[in-house]
């Protein structure tokens, strides 16, 4: 499971021109699910994400977590994160999980985030989406499980 995390001042996701998810201060998560990913990884990453100290304290030092700042999450499925670019010019998606299994794990991951007392908005799994954000920093991290 791969997650690209971006700290944001605000963000939203649109499907067919309609906003389907919107947050204020918090993080945008682009989530790629690969074959073999499971609930253990989803739990690990959910816990890691809400507790990462990536928000500035009153001295400007990144010392506060999403929970500390009462931040929000916009979680967006990102199929292309499972791509392999090792050979040729066209990405290979053979490592990507089957859509039904990936959607089930994505929904489990979102539930794990919500169970940690965080407001979570999402896009629509499998849809063509437009993600709009104001990156704060910019601060961007890549998380993977297994590491």
* C-alpha distance from residue 99 to each of 55, 104, 134, 143 (Å): 34, 9, 29, 21
- What does the DSSP 8-state code read for residue 89? S
Task: Write the DSSP string, 102-120.
Answer: HHHHHHHHHHHHHTTT-EE
Q: How far is CA 77 from CA 58, 86, 87, 90, 104, in A?
A: 33, 22, 24, 21, 11
Contact 144, 1 (CB under 8 A): yes
Residue 71: phi and psi, rounded to 5, are: -80, 170
Mind telling me the catalytic residues? 78-80
């Amino acid at each position: 499971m791969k997650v690209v995390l971006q700290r944001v001042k605000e963000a939203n996701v649109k499907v067919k021109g309609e906003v389907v998810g919107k947050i204020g201060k918090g993080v945008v998560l682009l989530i790629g699910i690969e074959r073999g990913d499971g609930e253990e990884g989803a739990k690990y990453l959910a816990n890691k994400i809400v507790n990462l100290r990536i928000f500035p304290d009153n001295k400007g030092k990144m010392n506060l977590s999403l929970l500390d700042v009462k931040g929000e999450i916009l979680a967006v499925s990102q199929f292309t994160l499972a791509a392999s670019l090792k050979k040729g010019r066209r990405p290979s998606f053979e490592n990507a999980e089957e859509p039904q299994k990936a959607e089930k794990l994505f929904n489990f991951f979102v539930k794990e985030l919500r169970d940690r007392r965080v407001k979570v908005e999402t896009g629509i799994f499998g849809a063509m989406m437009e993600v709009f954000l104001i990156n704060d920093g910019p601060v961007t991290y890549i998380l993977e499980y297994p590491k």
